[in-house]
Every structure is written in C-alpha cells, then in structure tokens.
Amino acid sequence: MAVATAKRSGLSKLERRNILVGLLFISPWLVGFTVFTAFPLLSSLYYSLTRYDLLRPAIFIGADNYREIFVDDPLFRTVVWNTIFYVGLSVPLGAAAAFLMASLLNTEIRGRSVFRAIFFFPAIIPAFVTAMVWQFLLNVQYGAINGTLKALGLPIIPFIANPAFAKPTLILIYLWAQGNAIVIFLATLQDVPRTLYEAATVDGANAWDKFWNVTIPMCTPVILFNLVVGFIYGFQNFTLPWLLTAGGPNFATEFYSIYLYRNAFIYLRMGKASALAWILFIVIVLFTVLLFRTSKGWVYYGSGEE
C-alpha cells in the first residue's frame, strides 16, 4: 500500500526503493504489533459483545455485558469504590513520599549511597517474594509485627484479615515500594540549576522558601510523569493484592483488575471480562487526558512553557 501510494505521488524509483527497504526493516515489528497487539485488541472488542466461555463458540449478545456490569451487577459498585479508594490515596501519597525521600537523599549526609541502595531495593524484588515477606510480617498468628506487639503487651492488628485495615495496609506496602520513583526524582533534583538556589539565597529565602518556590516548581514535569504512570499502574494493579488477599476479606480488596481476572479465568466469562477490560481502558484514557489538561495550571517547564 505504501509503495502504491509512493507511485501515485510521483516519487522516484530510488525513493520507492528506500520506502520498500524501510518497510522490510520494520516488518518484524509490524507483524508483531498486528499479531500480538492489534488483533487481540480488536478481538476483545468483539468478544465484549458476546457470551463466550472458551469452551463453546461465542454468541453475539450486543451490549448485554455492559448492561449487566452497570445495572445488574451489585458487586461492580464495590469494586469501583475499592479501586478509586486505593488509587486515589496510594498514587498521590506514593508520589509525595518518593519526592520527599528523594529530597532527603539529595542532601549531603553520611552514607548517602547506602541509603539510596536501601530505598531502591524494594523496586527490584519480585512481586511474589514481596507478597511472601509481607504475609510473614503481617500474619495475625505468626507474623513478626504482631509477635512483637504481643511481646510488648499491645493488642495485635489484623492488617490483612480485617476489612477495615486491608486497603490501608496495601497502600502502606505501595508506599514502601517507591524505589523507581525515588530514583527518577533524585535525578531530577540533581538537575535543578544551582544558580536558582543562589539567587533565592541572595533574596533572603530560607530553606522552606527555596523548597516550595524553586525545588517543587522545577520538578513538576517529573511529578506529572510519576502521577500519570502511577495512576495507569494503580488501576491495573493485580499481583500484590491478589497474592496477599485474593480480593478479601469480604471483598474489601476486590480491585478492578482482580474482578476482571476472576470473571475471565475463574468464572470463564470471557465476554464480560472483555467488556470490563474495555471499560477500564476508556477510564484510564479519560483520566490521563484529564490529568494532562489540569496540569497546565501547575506544571512548569524550564523553557517557560506551561
């Protein structure tokens, strides 16, 4: 198609040959994108309009899956609330915690490289190992934290066994694993021009003034990046909540991705799972666009653009 277009546009033989060679070079990517991305994406859109269980042929039912999700599924509201609660708290708090820790690690302190390695370490631990470690720490009967509390004569805390504590506990674990964001913020902080701090010092600014009026504004593009990535990841977060709580107790941690997985691979309702996936895709796109739109008022770039 590209070669035919090139012929109609009056390109020379050499230019058409270059286009053909270019297409041949990127053909592995084109084939991979078509087979592993475009085809599954379009297939899921079709299956979202069908009743399909992997065992029998798909039956077209129109928008019934979407109607069931929004009208007839009482658990869907709980899932949405759990997801909004988790994402709405964990992502902003995670970005703030990572920024503050990066600011501390950017100061001249003894053993700074050791502390940097310690804070980055959780980011390279596999999710399965992380889940096993935290299960051991948080278990009500034999957990290290509750064992210490019991030894001190303090009441035990059912971190992941009580619906009231389950989501806050997962949020705390998310805050603990902010190594990647800390590294990104640390690199950004080191690129803030020293001349801005010197000018602020000459103007009589104290440490808080320099942090609020120089450090934060110069880092807002990276703050936006971490928020966007965090929200996209947060809406799809599955591995750690599934390994720690499997959606419990009493559906307190039944997040959207867990609910989607349950419908697809436990209930074998692939049609409904595909519909859930497309709803999630649209929500993530809309939320990302909204975040970029609102960023015009608080993100500042070195070139003066906002």
Lowest mean pLDDT among 7-11, 51-55, 293-297: 7-11
State the average pLDDT over residues 15-25.
90
pLDDT at 107: 85
pLDDT band at 109 (very low <50, low <70, confident <90, very high): confident
pLDDT at 7: 53
pLDDT at 272: 96
State the average pLDDT over residues 62-90.
95
pLDDT band at 111 (very low <50, low <70, confident <90, very high): confident
Contact present, 94 and 172 (Cβ < 8 Å): no
State the average pLDDT over residues 171-182.
93
What is the phi/psi pair of residue 185, to 5°? -65, -40
d(CA 200, CA 204): 6
For 288, other C-beta atoms within 10 Å of its C-beta total: 15
Contact present, 99 and 183 (Cβ < 8 Å): no
Average pLDDT of the chain to the nearest whole number: 90
**What CATH class does 66-297 carry?**
mainly alpha
pLDDT band at 303 (very low <50, low <70, confident <90, very high): low
Q: Is the dihedral of CA 121, 122, 124, 129 positive or negative?
A: positive
Compute, in degrees rounded to 10, the torsion defined by CA atoms 220, 225, 226, 231: 120
pLDDT at 108: 82
State the average pLDDT over residues 295-304.
78
* Residue boundaries of the structural domains of the chain: 2-47, 66-297
Q: Does residue 153 register a pLDDT over 60? A: yes
d(CA 80, CA 159): 22
State the average pLDDT over residues 50-65.
93
State the average pLDDT over residues 38-58.
93
